[in-house]
Amino acid sequence: MNNKLDQVVVITGASSGIGEATAHLLAKDGAKIVAVARRKSRLDQLVKDIEATGGQAIAVEADVTAFEDMQCAAETAKDTYGRLDVWVNNAGVMPLSPVEMNRIDEWNWMVDVNIKGVLNGVAAAQPLMRAQGSGQFVNISSVAGHLVFPGAAVYCATKFAVRAFGEGIRMESDGSIRVTNISPGAIKTELTDHISVAEVKEGVKTFTEIAIDADAVARAIHFAVAQPADVDINEVIIRPSKQTL
């Protein structure tokens, strides 16, 4: 990497997948990482691994659906490292099912994590960013935030919401807070583990077979946060070369 990231970066959903890969990559390039997730043992291992390669990181056990937890993560970042430069809203769930199945508990779960989790992160971090006069949100949406797929209506709705909310932040920020929307396609993560409907899980098998590593998304995030302050990378769609949708 040519750039040295002298930034404090909070990453939700950092215990696996895109969040974990991003933590490793940004730490390797000099960022100070605040790794946030519910699975503390995984976070502790992540911090150990980062420190073993000369990086800096701390773990914060937290649930994105609880605003108080997000406040704690933001305050921990500031108390530990003196500021908060980037907040990566990465935590997400994807229990796909046809609408007619009325899996309301799963719908609520997606709304709570995928939408309210992002709202909570922004609400916790934005006051600190505004006080210091700068900051950046990186929101992980999906290609499902651009296209609607059968069996994924509610998931798509949550990811469309992430894009809309991020654009609103950008427009209201007067340039002091940058916003980047990252829309991954088929990526090797734990998201498909959330699908409990057998026929739907079989339907996404084609995507899992062509899925690319989470490192690809981490590199896109690195590119966005490494830009100078007057450059805002607003939208990145990243998917396997073989993915047509």
Q: Which residues are catalytic?
A: 155
Buried b (16+ CB within 10 A) or exposed e, 75-95: ebbbeebebbbbbbbbbbbbb
CA–CA gap between residue 52 and residue 55 (Å, rounded) = 7
Relative to beta strand 135-140, strand 86-89 is parallel
The token pair at 53 is: 């390669």
List, in order, residues 6 or more apart from 76 with CB less than 8 Å away: 34, 58, 60
Question: Helices marked H in the chain — which ranges?
Answer: 17-28, 40-52, 67-81, 104-110, 117-132, 153-172, 198-203, 205-210, 215-225
The token pair at 221 is: 């995030």
For residues 213 and 187, is the Cβ–Cβ distance under 8 A? yes
Which among 107, 109, 243, 92 is positioned nearest to 182, based on CA atoms?
A: 92
